[in-house]
Amino acid sequence: METLSNTTERTLDLFGMTCANCALRIEKGLSKMDGVYEVRVNFARESVFLRTSDSVSIGSLLEKVESLGYSALVHDANKQSETEKKQKEQIRNLKVRFLLSVFFSLPLFYGMVTHFQFLSFIPMPHFLMDRFVQMAIAFPVQFLIGFPFYKSAYRALRNGSANMDVLVVIGTSAAYGYSIFGKDLYFETSAVLITFILGGKWIEHFAKGKSSDGINALLKLRPETATVKSNGEWTEVPNEYLKQGDMVLVKAGERFPMDGIVSEGASFADESMLTGESMPVEKKIGDSILSGTVNGNGSLVVKATKVGNDTTLSHIIRSVEESLGTKAPIQRIADQISAYFVPIVISISLIDFFVWYFAFTPGDITSAIETSIAILVIACPCALGLATPISLLVGTGRAAKHGVLFRSAEALESVSKINWIAFDKTGTLTEGKPKVTEMIHFGLEQASQDQILKNVVRMEQTSDHPLAKAIVGYGKEKNLLPNSDLLVSTKTFPGGGIQSEQEGNYYVAGKRTFVEESGFIISKSIQESITTWSEDGSSLVFVGIRGNIEGMIVFRVEDSLRNDAKEAISSLKSMGVEPVLLTGDHPNSANKVAELVGISAVYAGLLPEEKAKIIVTFKTEKIHSAMVGDGINDAPALASADVGIAMGTGSDVAIQTADVVLVNGDIQRIVDLISIGKDTVTNIRQNFVWALGYNLLGIPIAASGLLLPWVSGAAMAFSSISVVLNALRMSRWK
């Protein structure tokens, strides 16, 4: 007997699922295989996670999925092209089927509405009422465009279950068949119903296809090649060939292809995509390097310590993959209802047929068929299928006017329950752009101060360093930008700073240690301010001047607070939502920002995985959480939270991973977001109640023989219209 110690974890991408019952069918089918210990199908992500014995081959798993009527591919986060291609083909196929169905159904729908007396004034071409004309128009919708419904229904029944496709097939086929042999025509009922359902499925698959965009953007952070030292020479090799211990050369501006330790050189690294720290981090011999981060202004030789799927970036990708696609409770309820709804309706229809044929109208098969068809038609899940997407459409349109983009119906439901919301600091509560907030100096006379600052700005203009750009921005604010035509010669020291000579003076700018090593002494008169600034977590740039003038300037560089941050936090508190700060920044800097905006709970110095763990911890305490962020480093937390909220001014990865996007990066919109979410979820629930209540009322009436099939068809259409009108009410709400 095999033990669980000899197990392998595998993930497959699935294709062809149409509803939650399909996911359940795949789970049951794979669970019956020998050597399969655990199966978890994610319908939203269209994937299945398996824990199996080592003896179970990938081929046997793929064959089992195919025998159940679906297809699958081995999931590889590094190679998504084939999966994306199949997903796009599915979406394109649904779109084509829907548009063709609309084309054929419109004449039949036109003929149906003219039956209503209040629309009798509309001219009706006589030939459209011909049985054979309607049969010919409805045929391609029913049996060609609608053929996949037949396939899905057959597979479901063959495996001992029933999904919505079973009811769609029976109801539309009954309406089509009766129209051929019966007295009345109901071809429009079958064709229009299939058209409605295809439209809903197209929207659903399109939205699900977008869920992989965030992971693809993360994958783009991983360089395709790396420069490795081999036999004393530098050779470019594919990234997947990297091994632990390899010496890798990374030039200025390139991304690091692995985690490692600096062996040679000095530079700065932009780690904002992983840590959220907006300031570049100094890298010298012995310092650690993270994959996906960007090398600054010097070449580095790095010894690889983690490669491939073991890197920090790979862990982030896996975290996002595992967290995306959670199913909303309201949808789970709908899935549970549908699992029982279909067989119950079919059973009621069959029982009603026999009751009428043998008891109420003995031997009258026409009456028995009419009542049975009336039940199937009036119970068709058109209104139930429209309940969520139409409310989502109206709710998201209303939100878009306020600069809020919802990415799914799940997000609409989840935001209405938020009672705990975490904020990243950099780029969320702050602008994400370093800015000089204060400057002190000594040894500079007022008459020469402006010219000295112009020379400093001129020197910093030659650097691409973010702190240098902050000083140039300061010069622009003070109208101290020098003549751009006047060139200045500078010398850059990676990891230290910059030097230049201008107008008989020698300038040195950079870190404190770099300036001190250049022979400058920090005056006691400014030591106290420097200490205070450092304790606040501010970045400091020292500038020493020697020559005709002897002196020093110290710039305090900070990430400015957003103008709307304090007001937004106050509004959220008044709504009963508790704000928390999660950041990778220095604790001093984090505490200062938290104090300014009014946040009492602060978690600082966090890695991306640690942010996500804190979110998960609060979720286990039954706290409904939200995460607001803008960077790649926020992706795991955004995916782990019940609701991920991304700033539209942030990274593509954050935007694609999040459930909600604030288009203009205005965190005041979070208050609107919660309000709109509550309104929309209420509307969705009203639609579900109406759709199910309609069936509960309509089925008994149809079973009693009081509704002819065409009246049931009209009632079915009216139920859908009612759901749409209920959703449209939201567009008028303030």
Q: How many CB atoms lie within 10 A of CB 181?
A: 8
- pLDDT at residue 172, rounded to an integer: 82
520 lies in the same domain as 597: no
For the cut 50, the answer to whether the pLDDT of residue 151 exceeds it is: yes
190-194, 302-306, 344-348, 405-409: least confident range: 405-409
274 lies in the same domain as 261: yes
- pLDDT at residue 351, rounded to an integer: 94
Give me the active site residues, please.
424
Question: Residue range 281-310: average pLDDT?
Answer: 88
CB 574 within 8 A of CB 566: no
The three-state secondary structure class of 625 is: strand
Which residues are CB-neighbours of 532 under 8 A, at least 6 positions away?
Answer: none
pTM of this prediction? 0.55
- Please indicate, yes or no, if residue 454 is contained in any of the structural domains: yes
Q: Considering the chain, what percentage of its residues have pLDDT values greater than 90?
A: 20
- pLDDT at residue 466, rounded to an integer: 77
Tokens of 114: 């003219």
- Please indicate, yes or no, if residue 152 is contained in any of the structural domains: yes
How far is 22 from 649, CA to CA, in rounded Å?
39
Tokens of 650: 């942030």
For the cut 50, the answer to whether the pLDDT of residue 511 exceeds it is: yes
**Which DSSP string do the residues of 183-221 spell out, in sequence order?**
SS--HHHHHHHHHHHHHHHHHHHHHHHGGGHHHHHHHTT
145 lies in the same domain as 214: yes
141 lies in the same domain as 207: yes
Query: Whose CA is closest to 383, among 724, 15, 75, 132?
Result: 724
94 lies in the same domain as 218: yes
Of 560, 578, 594, which marks where a domain is finished? 560
- CATH value at residue 263: 2.70.150.10
139 lies in the same domain as 262: no
The letter for the amino acid at 524 is: K
CB 429 within 8 A of CB 586: no
The overall average pLDDT reported for the chain is 81
- pLDDT at residue 238, rounded to an integer: 86
Tokens of 451: 């010219």
- pLDDT at residue 325, rounded to an integer: 41
- Please indicate, yes or no, if residue 556 is contained in any of the structural domains: yes
As for how many domains the chain has, the answer is 6
Helix H segments across 3-129?
Answer: 20-31, 58-67, 81-113
Tokens 């043998």, located at residue: 358
Question: Residue range 429-449: average pLDDT?
Answer: 83
Q: Please name the helix (run of DSSP H) or strand (run of DSSP E) that holds residue 726, with its range, or none.
A: helix 709-728
Q: In this predicted model, which residue has the larger pLDDT, 118 or 12?
A: 12
What are φ and ψ of residue 148, in 5° steps?
-55, -30
CB 596 within 8 A of CB 560: no
668 lies in the same domain as 708: no
Q: Residue 533: which domain range?
A: 432-560
22 lies in the same domain as 57: yes
548 lies in the same domain as 476: yes
Of 75, 96, 111, which marks where a domain is finished? 75
pLDDT digits (tens, 9 = 90+) for 36-69: 998 877 665 677 888 899 889 999 999 999 888 7
237, β-bridge pairs = 226
- pLDDT at residue 427, rounded to an integer: 80
Which residues are CB-neighbours of 530 under 8 A, at least 6 positions away?
Answer: 512, 522, 540, 554
The letter for the amino acid at 636 is: P
- Please indicate, yes or no, if residue 350 is contained in any of the structural domains: yes
Tokens of 590: 């984090």
pLDDT digits (tens, 9 = 90+) for 328-378: 456 566 556 666 777 788 899 899 999 999 999 898 877 887 788 778 777
Helix H segments across 252-328?
Answer: 272-275, 312-323
- Please indicate, yes or no, if residue 58 is contained in any of the structural domains: yes
Give buried/exposed letters for 410-426 (b at 16+ CB in 10 A, else e). bbbbbbbbbebbbbbbb
Q: In this predicted model, which residue has the larger pLDDT, 383 or 429?
A: 429
CB 655 within 8 A of CB 636: no
For the cut 60, the answer to whether the pLDDT of residue 208 exceeds it is: no
23-32, 375-384, 424-433: least confident range: 375-384
How far is 472 from 490, CA to CA, in rounded Å?
15
Question: Residue range 542-570: average pLDDT?
Answer: 89
- Please indicate, yes or no, if residue 594 is contained in any of the structural domains: yes
The three-state secondary structure class of 168 is: helix
What number of residues does the chain have?
734
How far is 541 from 467, CA to CA, in rounded Å?
8
The letter for the amino acid at 608 is: P
CB 88 within 8 A of CB 210: no
- pLDDT at residue 533, rounded to an integer: 82
- Please indicate, yes or no, if residue 649 is contained in any of the structural domains: yes
pLDDT digits (tens, 9 = 90+) for 240-275: 889 999 999 999 889 999 999 999 998 888 876 665
Of 75, 99, 127, which marks where a domain is finished? 75
- CATH value at residue 534: 3.40.1110.10
pLDDT digits (tens, 9 = 90+) for 614-638: 998 887 777 888 999 887 778 889 9
Q: Please name the helix (run of DSSP H) or strand (run of DSSP E) that holds residue 645, with its range, or none.
A: strand 643-647
CB 495 within 8 A of CB 282: yes
CB 481 within 8 A of CB 519: no
- CATH value at residue 654: 3.40.50.1000
420-424, 540-544, 689-693: least confident range: 689-693
- CATH value at residue 59: 3.30.70.100
- pLDDT at residue 536, rounded to an integer: 74
Q: How many CB atoms lie within 10 A of CB 555?
A: 24
Query: Whose CA is closest to 508, among 543, 534, 471?
Result: 543
For the cut 90, the answer to whether the pLDDT of residue 70 exceeds it is: no
Tokens of 402: 């306020």
Tokens of 490: 């500078």
Q: Are strands 7-15 and 294-295 parallel, antiparallel or unpaired?
A: unpaired
- pLDDT at residue 716, rounded to an integer: 64
Q: In this predicted model, which residue has the larger pLDDT, 507 or 309?
A: 507
Which residues are CB-neighbours of 125 under 8 A, at least 6 positions away?
Answer: none
Burial bucket for residue 725 (CB in 10 Å: 0-12, 13-18, 19+): exposed
How far is 88 from 71, CA to CA, in rounded Å?
15
What is the C-alpha radius of gyration for the chain, rounded to an integer number of angstroms?
33
| Angle at the Cα of 13 from the Cα atoms of 10 and 15, rounded to 5 degrees | 145
pLDDT digits (tens, 9 = 90+) for 177-192: 878 877 777 787 788 8
- pLDDT at residue 20, rounded to an integer: 59
Q: Are strands 551-561 and 430-442 parallel, antiparallel or unpaired?
A: antiparallel
**Which pLDDT band holds residue 327 (cuts at 50, 70, 90)?**
very low
What are the DSSP E strand ranges found in 648-732? 660-662
Which residues are CB-neighbours of 487 under 8 A, at least 6 positions away?
Answer: none
- pLDDT at residue 323, rounded to an integer: 44
Helix H segments across 220-364?
Answer: 272-275, 312-323, 329-355
202 lies in the same domain as 99: yes
- pLDDT at residue 144, rounded to an integer: 95
The three-state secondary structure class of 581 is: strand
Tokens of 545: 């001047």
216 lies in the same domain as 186: yes
577 lies in the same domain as 520: no
Question: Residue range 382-396: average pLDDT?
Answer: 68
The three-state secondary structure class of 486 is: coil
- Please indicate, yes or no, if residue 125 is contained in any of the structural domains: yes
**Which DSSP string do the residues of 507-557 spell out, in sequence order?**
EEEE-HHHHHHTT----HHHHHHHHHHHHTT-EEEEEEEEESS-EEEEEEE
Tokens of 146: 């609608």
